[in-house]
Amino acid sequence: MADETLELSYAGPALESHSIDARELGPALIAISDLFVTAHIELGREGPLPAVRVVATSEGSFIVHLLVSTPSNVLGAYLEPVADWLNTSGPMATVTGLGIVTPVIGGLAWMVARVRKGIEKRVTPVAPGEIEIEWPDGTKLRVLGEAAQIVESMDMRRAIKKVGAPLRRRGEIDRMTIRTTDENQPEVAMESADLRALDALPTDDTLLTDTEREVVLRLKKVAFDHERKWQVTDGSSTFWAAMMDLNFALKVADSQESFSANDQLRVSLRERQFTTDSGGIRAEHSIVHVIEHLKSPEQSHLPFDDS
């Protein structure tokens, strides 16, 4: 399997001398490894977790290998320094995985654009496996469909915040860029101000359970906003679930799928429980895949929410 290559770089006055405090860079490099492991899990990829090797962009520089040492979901890594840091302005990260770099970069670029521009106007399919996101100001971004799972993932938001942690050094490091060698792919450029919106999200919640099961849900309300939260009931309780099956969501948006009252969906439902920093418990529900749309014989109108 061929390696995928991307460049991670930081810019600012602190790097004019080609140096950075190891206490700042070290956690960020580990966070890059964790970010791709998190993406591997979020995208439901099979096989070994991706391994990230970080090497400097010039000879004789500080080289670090970041390897995930366990095939389970536990994020384990170790550092192996093999040379002195001499002369580099940014590290080059090589990720060994199952074509995971492109959807990750697309999802992160989408995430940053959402922070800056707000709710997107529309998401439309443009080619097999590809979508185009458009904002009210006319800005467009073309990414793989899998990027939708990245942009909606709170775990990925936590991970990119850790990678961007050096940006908190105001006046010293003011820009972070992640790009691939493919000029057709978007680059992720974050500045200190971009962390502000991400900071508004809860980050201290601890995952308690993470399960996935097949279940039939009755639809109560379908939403077309950027969060795609649908109100459903499983017969015992009513809750909001994020529609993560992008292909199905696009069919709905394109009127290829229509709903009547009491329609049901047979789905793979992911349920996660978290304990909050205040000691409470909260739950997240997401529809990973729509297996079957079960039409109701009744044809009354189902409420839609396009806010």
In angstroms, the CA 7 to CA 260 distance is 49
Render the burial of 202-213: b for 16+ CB within 10 Å, e for the rest.
eeebeeeeeeee
User: In degrees, to the nearest 5, what angle opens at C-alpha 292 toward C-alphas 290 and 296?
Assistant: 120
DSSP annotation of 291 reads E
> What pLDDT score was predicted for residue 306?
54
For residues 176 and 164, the answer to whether their CB atoms sit within 8 Å is: yes
**Cβ atoms 215, 234 nearer than 8 A:** yes
> Cβ distance 223 to 232 under 8 Å?
no
Q: Where are the alpha helices (DSSP H) in 200-271?
A: 246-253
Which range, of 167-181, 233-247, 250-264, 271-285, averages the lowest pLDDT?
167-181
pLDDT given at position 277: 67
pLDDT over 70 for what percent of the chain? Answer: 69
Q: Which residues, in sequence order, are CB contacts of 305 under 8 Å at separation 6+?
A: 221, 222, 223, 224, 225
Asked if the model's pLDDT at residue 120 lies above 70, the reply is yes
Report phi then psi at 197, rounded to 5: -65, -35
Share of the chain above pLDDT 90, in %: 10
CA 293, CA 258: separation in Å to the nearest integer?
Answer: 10
Q: What is the largest CA-CA distance in the chain?
A: 72
List domains and CATH numbers for the chain: 4-199 (no CATH), 206-305 (2.40.50)
pTM of the model: 0.59
pLDDT of 50-66, one tens digit each? 777 665 444 322 223 23
pLDDT value for 65: 28
